[in-house]
Amino acid sequence: MIKNVLIKMELEGNGIVNRDSSGQKYIIDAFDIKNLKGHKSNNNVLYAKKNFYKDEDGNVSYKIKISRDALMHDIFKNDIISQNPNVVHHDASLYSYIASPISILRGYLFANKTETIKRDGVITLCDAEQTDGALSSIEVCSRSGQKEEDKDVVDNSLFFKETVGDIKYLTTGNLDLTKLQFITCDNVFGRYSFNPDKFGLFKEFLTKNLPNFSSELDYYQLTGSAIDIPEYGVLLSNENVIFLVKEALKRMLGLNIKRKDAYARVSSLKIKFVENPLEDIFNNEYGWIELRNEQDVDSLDFEPQSFYNKVDLEEAKKLRKAIEDKKKEVDKVKIDDKKKKEEQKKNRSNKTESNDE
Amino acid sequence: MMNNYLLLKFKSARLFRKSGKNNKNLRTKDFSFNLDGSYSKRDELPSFVEPITVHQISNMLYVLFNERPVSTLKGSLYNKNEYLFEKAKDSFMKIETPKYKKFENEDYPTEIIQTKKAVWNSFNPSIVLDWEIVRRYIDDKDKFDTFVSNLNTCFKFNPTSIPFNKLIDLVSGLEIEIRIALYASIKELKGCDGLIYCFGRYDKGNFAAPDLSKLTNKTINCSAKTINNGIENVYVLSGEIVVPVSDDDLNILKNYSKGYANILDGGFVWIEKIIPSKNFNNDEYNLVGDISLEMNLPAKTMEL
């Protein structure tokens, strides 16, 4: 039974694909990084994103990196260009989006006036960090500007840019099967992913997007948890979970970040199925599976562990009673607070009016 | 009895927090999402001075041990696991990200990231109108045709042949009577008053400046123009956490844990190895129980 999927992804590329703000110049000068410092007075410097490290003698070095956001953006670039808050204004557009494999894998957050729906992403990736000795340097570049009419002046400008040649990166992460297999619509644990009253609509889109989807809303208890509160939601079948894991891995294989003067693409993708979390760790070289193409992903065969047990409705009601009473208390306090604030506001405005008179 | 220590490593842990002088948070556009499904402004919440405290570490441990995390600031409907909370206090931590000298103080390096906009009313303040937005705003073919025909009567040419933005300038140059008549014709269309604001509303003998937002701040008819993303400075931290564990704890981890957890925003925490107690030297680490729980004041004090 598989509890988790560890990911080790190597990337190779040329040039800088992920830039930081020019504010990095102060950090570089403070750390006294010889090959990059000296641009404190220049505002037009483009730096690479990097991690800084201090050795025992107090010397600071750095490693160029590609942020997790850049990696995730590229992994899903063919599915979604950007998350747009406009989708919340129509139920069909919102539920077709949140019931897509991309949203189930990547997570989402949409806040409306009265209802906020959110789901944690299933994929965790660290920033991809440089693994070779490639040394970056600052280059002077120029940018063509407009020529002013009737004047012998051209608005060309010089700027500085951190560049590097061939470079290799490594990122590690995981695919969380616990998060993946359960879509909750319960606010008790603060993970309200959809409105249970709109489950019909949600299910319609899930049926279209997932193979043989037939799950129904029910109460589920997290196995081994000391908190005895069942959570209302949808448990995906093993077939659906395996489908989604493979979808995620296929997208990772296609990671290829392109810029006009740089690129970074996957050179090696390895995964490890975690059965025993104390032994199946990154440090242990045993058990890694290299995925070279989509056929390798399709041929993966595993059985995910189910982290949730179905709870009978009567039993669920009994177990949830205490927490639902507490929720009512919280809501009551909130309503009282609101009333109190409104009253105080009213008193204040009355006071101001009488002062004016 | 704690025979062993569990060495956990964390990386890419982000902290969205800016504090200014006098231990007060700086203003932010971030939101916090509440138990009842509503959201409130982050500016109304305090934050810890230290980037990682026993609360963040205990929440990480809850997830590692397949328990539920417990919100520290927003409150929670269930109680925290006291055993794991005490374990978090007895743990050791070191942040490996070096600090640099910033003015008189030392601070962790920040980096700039792109953030997503999730709030329904993230309306774009910089608006350029076009005929397609106007058509979507009116959302009725007959009404749109009437509107265009009325403009045609005013200007004696097809108004759709010029950009809508240019038309706003032309309307402002119309004679007062013609302009007021145009506004009256728009009013007759019913439900399209935003166009009057767009051309500059007539009030008490004066024309107001054009307010283009009436067309794009409307959430119906798909004419809303929203911002997809913003930018934010974040700390990105990495380091180690060493947790004392008994044989029973290891058994729980073996049977129920996934072997990983998160810390702060998206920080990846994984099990590096198990260290026998006698081999662990805590010289380079801070005891988590000793980390200060001092808090910065909220950026905006709530009115009471």
Pair B259, A4: CB distance under 8 Å: yes
Amino acid letter, residue A274: V
Binary contact (A225, B67; C-beta < 8 A):
yes
Return the residue in B9, B10, B35, B273 with the most chain A beta carbons within 10 A, the one to mutate for interface testing: B35
Same domain flag for B188 and B255: no
Flag whether pLDDT at B287 surpasses 80: yes
Residue A342 pLDDT: 81
Residue B197 is assigned to a structural domain of this protein: yes
Flag whether pLDDT at B246 surpasses 80: yes
Quick check: helix, strand or coil at residue B269? Answer: strand
Residue B203 pLDDT: 85
Pair A253, A266: CB distance under 8 Å: yes
Structure tokens that stand for B28 in this block:
């932010």
- DSSP character for A236? P
Q: Which of residues 102-121 of B touch A (CB under 8 A)?
A: 102, 109-114, 116-121
Q: 10-residue block means of pLDDT along chain A (357 residues)? A: 94 96 91 88 90 90 95 90 75 91 91 83 95 93 81 83 96 94 87 92 95 93 86 94 96 94 96 94 92 95 93 87 77 78 80 69
Over the stretch A35-85, which tens digit does the pLDDT of each residue have? Answer: 898 888 888 899 999 999 999 888 899 999 999 999 999 999 888 766 777
Return the residue in A2, A5, A27, A325 with the most chain B beta carbons within 10 A, the one to mutate for interface testing: A27
Q: For chain B, where are the E strands, in sequence order?
A: 4-15, 31-33, 39-41, 47-48, 92-95, 100-102, 105-107, 110-116, 202-203, 206-207, 229-245, 260-263, 267-276, 286-287, 295-296
What average pLDDT does the segment B136-149 reach?
90
Rounded Cα–Cα distance for residues A40 and B273 (Å): 42
Binary contact (B257, A3; C-beta < 8 A):
yes
Q: Which of residues 152-211 of A touch B (CB under 8 A)?
A: 172-174, 176-178, 187-190, 192
Residue B137 is assigned to a structural domain of this protein: yes
Residue B304 pLDDT: 42
Same domain flag for B155 and B192: yes
Tell me the pTM.
0.86
Q: What range defines the domain where residue B69 resides?
A: 4-94+240-296
* Domains held by chain B: number: 2
Q: Which of B216, B251, B286 is the last residue of a domain?
A: B216
Same domain flag for B168 and B211: yes
| Distance, C-alpha B20 to centroid of its chain | 19
Q: Which of residues 256-295 of A touch B (CB under 8 A)?
A: 274, 276-278, 280-283
Residue B297 sits at the chain A interface (C-beta within 8 Å) = no
ipTM of model: 0.87
Residue A127 sits at the chain B interface (C-beta within 8 Å) = yes
Residue A236 pLDDT: 96
What average pLDDT does the segment B253-262 reach?
92
Q: Give chain A positions within 8 Å (CB) of B256.
A: 223-224
Binary contact (A127, B97; C-beta < 8 A):
no
Residue B304 is assigned to a structural domain of this protein: no
Over the stretch A120-149, which tens digit does the pLDDT of each residue have? Answer: 999 999 999 999 999 999 999 988 888 777
Q: For A185-201, b where at least 16 C-beta lie within 10 A, e where not — what string?
A: bbbbbbbbbbbeeebeb
CA angle centred on B99, ends B96 and B105, rounded to 5°: 150
How large a percentage of chain B has pLDDT more than 70?
Answer: 94
- Phi and psi (nearest 5°) for B86? -65, -40
Binary contact (A278, B304; C-beta < 8 A):
no
Over the stretch B153-206, which tens digit does the pLDDT of each residue have? Answer: 888 889 999 999 889 889 888 888 889 999 999 999 888 888 999 899 888 888
Residue B101 sits at the chain A interface (C-beta within 8 Å) = yes
Residue B120 is assigned to a structural domain of this protein: no
